[in-house]
Amino acid sequence: MKSIELLLEPIRHSPLLPVVIERLQAQIAAEQCRREQFYLDMTPDQKVEFIDGEVVLHSPARNRHLEVTMMIAKLVDTYAALHQLGVVRVEKCLCTFPRNDYEPDIVFFGKAKAATLTSETLKFPIPDFVVEILSESTRQNDRGVKFEDYAANEVIEYWIVDADNSTVEQYLLRDGLYELRVKSSTGTLTSQVLSGLTIDVESMFNQQSNLTAMRELLSK
């Protein structure tokens, strides 16, 4: 809320305020038309997002990106299922925010939001937890507009994962902004949203460590 006030302050008392409002309303109306067309045009075989009024079509992911996505998703999904915490989705899960639509690499919906999903759900609610695996084409948005939008819309926990350097950054909401809690390629990471989940960071990037972590989860 504080950041919104800071944005508004320079124009709040300006004689140009009516003009600014008129132009913003026109922009929002035009964006909404493009967004509705985006919903009509998108297909299941595409990884596509709607950001800042524009359609963003993503190229296929590299094998390392897919490998790390799968390892993290298995850990998170297994834990969530075992403890009946909610549901995990990957890749082509279109999450609808007030202005933008994203398809994060991994998302988690707690029980309340999971209960709203059906077999026909195509546009998903705002997740409680998001993981983005960095790539050259997504890095700027993952650290930019998505970082800001996820925080503004109360995605409680956000992990940014660098697959090439085997590093994870864990961000948690504090007073409406993200606070970096962990940035590491070693040690353990404890989730705030998936209560009780503590995993070895190495298990996100190494197949053997991932198998060991999976066995430990299943044995508890």
Q: Structural domain boundaries of the chain? A: 1-41, 47-219
Q: Of 114, 195, 105, 99, whose CA–CA distance to 159 is shortest? A: 105
d(CA 188, CA 149): 27
> Which helix (H) or strand (E) element contains residue 33?
helix 17-41
50: tokens are 């709607």
Superfamily of the domain at 47-219 = tt1808, chain A (3.90.1570.10)
Buried b (16+ CB within 10 A) or exposed e, 56-71: beeeebeeebbbbbeb
d(CA 203, CA 114): 27
Q: Of 127, 114, 46, whose CA–CA distance to 86 is shortest? A: 114
Question: Identity (one letter) of the amino acid at 89?
Answer: R
DSSP annotation of 67 reads: H
Mind listing the pLDDT tens digit of every residue in the chain (220 residues)? 456 777 788 888 899 899 999 999 999 999 999 999 999 999 888 889 999 999 999 888 999 999 999 999 999 999 999 999 999 999 889 999 999 999 999 999 999 999 999 999 999 999 999 999 999 889 999 999 999 999 999 999 999 999 999 999 999 999 889 999 999 999 999 999 999 999 999 999 999 999 999 999 999 7
CA quadruple 126, 51, 167, 78: dihedral sign: positive
In this prediction the pTM is 0.92
Contact 120, 129 (CB under 8 A): no
